[in-house]
Amino acid sequence: MKITVSVIKADIGSIAGHVRVHQDTIEVAKKKLETAKEEGLVIDYYVFNAGDDLELLITHTKGVDNPEIHELSWEIFKESAKKAKELKLYAAGQDLLKESFSGNIKGMGPGVAEIEFEERPAEPFAVFAADKTEPGAFNLPVFRIFADPFNTAGLIIDPKMHAGFKFIIMDVIEGKEIELQTPEDLYDILALIGHTGRYIIKFVYSKDPTIGVAAAVSTQRLSLIAGRYIGKDDPVCIIRAQHGLPAMGEILEAFSQAHLVKGWMRGSHHGPLMPVPLKYSQCTRFDGPPRVVGLGFNLCEGKLIGPIDLFDDPAFDLVRQKAMLITDYIRSMGPFEPHMLGPEELEYTTLPEVLKRLKNRWREST
Ligand code: F6R
Ligand code: MG
Ligand code: MG
């Protein structure tokens, strides 16, 4: 049975600043998805939050980029934003950039990650959603999961994974994408994806056509505005696990570094990506640090069995502590690079205005 897993997300407003989605707006989304389930449009759903982003996980049989599913999500975000406005929540309706729906939610503000595949006899997968960062934040963990044998033992010792994987990498600036393969293109892949603001892993495919797509990251909004730098979108990522794909533990292992990402405070700072359970899916200190939640499911004829709150585990306590040590350290740099991003990547800046004002105060340096 071919199933589509769609994760569609938007910041429709949050409580106490850009901190956390309000429960009442989550309830609005659940109610509308329950109706869609009763009507048979969707098979199943799960609604959750990543900090101030409302996340809709939807399973169905309509394929990716389906207008009905996208319109449903758009209507849900509009309805939740209406609730957010009623409650006078912060930045209500922030990510809803267009007035009316025109066939595809991409380019309208929300982020989308979708995959369609033949459901295996047992189909475990994980959904990751991050706040105060950008799609390139997933480059490092996704690379480690599918291409680094120091993370994923299966690449060496599982005959079904030994052939490697195919990566679709997007160039955000040019609006182009390229397919590269591991292990043969390993160094070329790394030459690109280390530059997380420009080259983004968008999909990973198994080389075994019976498995097909293995992972997807939400890059779509970026792609539509290619040609100029368009800033950061809090990203989502879907990764299938086991039996020819990385084990769930290999997937989670890649989040054990608290690696530095872009997008913290005003979209303008580097900070460590901290894996947290849903109860800590709220951004507090200096609007962060950037956080990622991970939910594990199994599919049963498209029905969602789960979730398991994957980072709700002492196994991630030390990573969280490490993230806070890095936070203390990097915060001490205040407005200095590399804590603050370079001028071309700042989402907020006064630099042009300051330079204009100081124009006549420069003199030749001796
Ligand atoms: C939003 C975010 C926050 C805001 C910051 C300033 O997701 O990353 O760090 O950029 O709180 O927000 P405004 O300009 O709305 O006061
Ligand atoms: Mg916000
Ligand atoms: Mg956010």
Q: Report DSSP letters for 329-345, one per residue.
A: HHHTTTTSTTTBPPGGG
**CA distances to 2, 63, 256 from 5, in Å:** 10, 9, 26
What is the pLDDT confidence band of residue 225, given thresholds at 50, 70 and 90?
A: low
> Tens of pLDDT along 41-56?
999 999 999 999 999 9
Query: What distance in Å separates the CA atoms of residue 135 and residue 217, rounded to the nearest whole number?
Result: 7
- 306-362: pLDDT as tens digits: 999 999 999 999 999 999 999 999 999 999 999 999 998 888 899 999 999 999 999
CB within 5 A of ion ligand 2: which residues? 11, 18, 52, 91
Do 129 and 7 meet the contact criterion of CB atoms below 8 Å apart?
Answer: yes
Q: Which of 9, 62, 202, 232 does the annotation list as catalytic?
A: 232
Nearest CA to ligand 1 atom 3: 266
| 250 CA distance to ligand 3 middle (Å) | 27
**In angstroms, rounded to a whole number, what is the distance separating the alpha carbons of residues 295 and 173?**
31
| Per-residue buried b or exposed e for 79-112, using 16+ beta carbons within 10 Å of the residue's own CB | bbbbbbeeeebbebbbbbeeeebeebbbebbbbb
pTM over 0.95: yes
Query: Other CB atoms closer than 10 Å to residue 355's CB: what's the count?
Result: 10
Give the distance (Å) from ligand 3 centre to CA of residue 264: 10
Is 131 one of the annotated active-site residues of the chain?
no
Residue 230 has pLDDT above 80, yes or no: no
CA distance 313 to 317: 7
Radius of gyration over every alpha carbon of the chain, rounded to an integer in angstroms: 20
